[in-house]
Homo-oligomer: A and B are copies of this chain.
Amino acid sequence: MRISAKADYAVRAALELAATEGDASVKAEVIAAAQGIPHKFLEGILGDLRRGGLVASQRGGKGGYRLARPADTISIAEVIRVVDGPLVSVRGVRPPALSYRGPAESLLPLWIAVRANVRKILGEVTLAEVAAAKLPGDVLGLAEDPEAWTNP
């Protein structure tokens, strides 16, 4: 299960906006430099976020980007969906559209369970929480287990 560069970049860009005081606009170039993201590639991503209604933009002199909604109302899952489509897919297909035969029939509910779990985490955590380094208790609990950091 791989999280794409696009999704990673999009979340980091959104976090930069979430961390900006007030309604000030931030230029794409500034975000790119702060997070080490290729400038033009980032512009495309910010365009996706804008079309997805998560970000507002302003052209010209003092222009730039800002969040379209308060940072505590935007989940990480939303950001990823806007740039990458479905949160979880199998062979590029979203789970409910899959069909399995024979002993593999119970694979579908298994993928559904995985997806539900991912949704639960990424859907409850907001940009505000990550930007402020204040993850919800249950998520922090999972992340704090030393076992979670071990390799394979």
Contacts and interface: CB of A to CB of B under 8 A. Distances in A.
A150 to B, nearest CB: 8
A23 interface: no
Nearest to A139: B113
A110 B91 contact: no
Interface of A: 1-5, 8, 11-12, 15-16, 18-19, 34-36, 76, 81, 86-92, 94, 96, 100-107, 109-119, 121-122, 125, 129-131, 133-135, 139-140, 142-145, 147-149, 151-152
A1 B95 CA distance: 12
B15 A109 contact: no
A94 B151 CA distance: 8
A88 B16 contact: no
Contacts of A143: 109-110, 112-113, 116
A114 B2 CA distance: 12
A117 to B, nearest CB: 5
Contacts of A107: 8, 11-12, 15, 130
Given A35-B102, A117-B121, 6 more contacts: A15-B107, A106-B131, A109-B143, A110-B122, A110-B125, A117-B117
A118 to B, nearest CB: 6
